[in-house]
């Protein structure tokens, strides 16, 4: 199966390269424009803190920003060639968020470089109340980031994201009757680490699994199929994804449940959104065995609904996260609203409640978050 999948990826690459090799020239040289976003929020928090729990703040300011350099040029044969580089607007471990080159034409789209997988980009989650907080892949972890002892904390994502922005090749098919297909191959699941070595080395490192500590999954294939169609005021968005690592570089990993052996990793997701006029309802699902032996999988269900009328949007969601290897299970309730007060500018507000088992500093936690997001 692996050889078949790799052959499919190679065929897609060969198709794109053949189109590139055909006589074609751009009317002008590719040039880059500048874009990006800046988010600024203030939060008020209240949580039950059991004896011995880490103290948490009652209020705080937090923000996220990126500067994007993007460009695209059309060749004489109709094919488009583009570049995207996303720079974090603060000093961090991942200074360049994404950096990739793409070729797009009648054959579909071929993406080369540091970018999310086809599974991630073609998946659907439940409508969010405040996507930066309760979306399938939120930007913020108000009560702490995942660690070796708090796998997901009260703030969890459920996007199919086995390889994050690790260097990969991805192919996206044209749409046929509303259906589209995507496939990604990631040789080594270590983003931006020694990517210029020839020949490449196995790059064990942190951040390669939900547990920090060098548990590397590589030779990863991720596939997705989705459907997008609209009939008058009614629309359907549906998708399913599957990811599999053909290799693991570690024999065991330390988890909250003890030392557990590793195995090849599998991940499945599905999502459905139904839209009618300004209303949207939907659900998202993720199952991930985490690459750990035994009954150590993670399951997330999310449900949501939203109503939009002109610049105003109101949404609500509920999500349930179940980690079988610990008692650290979480239910999250969200209610939020946004208002577009100028082109590319929204004011956002939301109320969130987390009910988390066996994580003292996160039990029965409520947050009120307000702020703005500006894209440019």
pLDDT at 206: 45
Tokens of 250: 């570690």
Domain boundaries, the chain: 2-21+30-52+62-189+207-375
How many whole angstroms separate alpha carbon 134 and alpha carbon 306? Answer: 13
Report the b/e string of 152-170 with b at 16+ CB within 10 A: bbbbbbbbbbbbbbbbbbb
pLDDT at 200: 61
How many whole angstroms separate alpha carbon 317 and alpha carbon 364? Answer: 17
CA 293 to chain CA centroid, Å, is 25
CA angle, residues 340, 341, 346, in degrees to nearest 5: 45
Which among 271, 92, 55 has a CA at the least distance from the CA of 192? 92
Please state which CATH class domain 2-21+30-52+62-189+207-375 belongs to: mainly beta
pLDDT at 208: 41
User: Contact, 180 vs 228, CB < 8 A?
Assistant: yes
Cis preceding-peptide flag for 199 (omega within 30 of 0): yes
pLDDT per residue as tens digits for the range 31-90:
999 999 999 999 998 877 655 555 667 888 989 999 999 999 999 999 999 999 999 998
pLDDT along the chain (376 residues), means of 10: 41 47 65 96 81 70 94 94 95 85 98 97 97 91 48 67 91 97 90 58 50 62 98 97 87 67 89 97 94 84 97 97 74 96 98 76 81 97
pLDDT at 192: 61
Which among 100, 92, 104 has a CA at the least distance from the CA of 116? 100
User: Contact, 86 vs 232, CB < 8 A?
Assistant: no
How many whole angstroms separate alpha carbon 367 and alpha carbon 97? Answer: 28
Q: Read off the pTM.
A: 0.86
């Amino acid at each position: 199966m692996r050889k078949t999948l790799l052959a499919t990826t190679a065929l897609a690459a060969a198709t794109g390269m053949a189109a590139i090799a055909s006589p074609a020239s751009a009317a002008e040289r590719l040039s880059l424009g500048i874009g990006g976003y800046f988010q600024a929020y203030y939060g008020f928090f209240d949580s039950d803190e059991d004896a011995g729990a880490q103290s948490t703040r009652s209020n705080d300011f937090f923000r996220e920003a990126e500067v994007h350099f993007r460009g695209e040029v059309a060749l004489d044969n109709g094919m488009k060639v583009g570049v995207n580089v996303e720079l974090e607007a603060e000093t961090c471990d991942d200074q360049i968020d994404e950096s990739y080159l793409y070729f797009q034409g009648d054959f579909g789209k071929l993406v080369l470089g540091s970018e999310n997988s086809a599974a991630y980009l073609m998946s659907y989650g439940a409508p969010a109340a405040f996507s930066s907080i309760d979306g399938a892949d939120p930007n913020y972890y108000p009560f702490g980031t995942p660690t070796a002892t708090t796998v997901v904390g009260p703030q969890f994502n459920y996007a199919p994201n086995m390889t994050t922005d690790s260097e990969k090749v991805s192919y996206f098919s044209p749409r046929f009757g509303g259906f589209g297909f995507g496939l990604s191959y990631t040789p080594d699941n270590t983003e931006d680490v020694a990517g210029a070595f020839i020949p490449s080395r196995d790059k064990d490192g942190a951040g390669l699994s939900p547990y920090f500590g060098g548990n590397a999954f590589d030779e990863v294939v991720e596939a997705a199929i989705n459907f997008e169609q609209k009939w008058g005021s009614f629309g359907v968005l549906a998708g399913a994804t599957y990811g599999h690592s053909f290799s693991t570089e570690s024999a065991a990993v330390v988890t909250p449940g003890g030392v557990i052996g590793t195995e090849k990793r599998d991940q499945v997701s599905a999502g459905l959104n139904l839209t009618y006029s300004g209303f949207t309802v939907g659900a998202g699902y993720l199952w991930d065995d985490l690459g750990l032996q035994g009954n150590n999988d993670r399951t997330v269900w999310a449900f949501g609904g939203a109503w939009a009328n002109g610049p105003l949007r109101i949404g609500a969601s509920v999500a349930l996260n179940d980690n079988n290897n610990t008692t650290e299970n979480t239910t999250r309730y969200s209610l939020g609203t946004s208002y577009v007060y100028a082109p590319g500018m929204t004011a956002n507000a939301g109320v969130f409640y987390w009910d988390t088992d066996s994580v003292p500093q996160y039990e029965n936690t409520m947050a009120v978050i307000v702020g703005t997001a500006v894209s440019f």
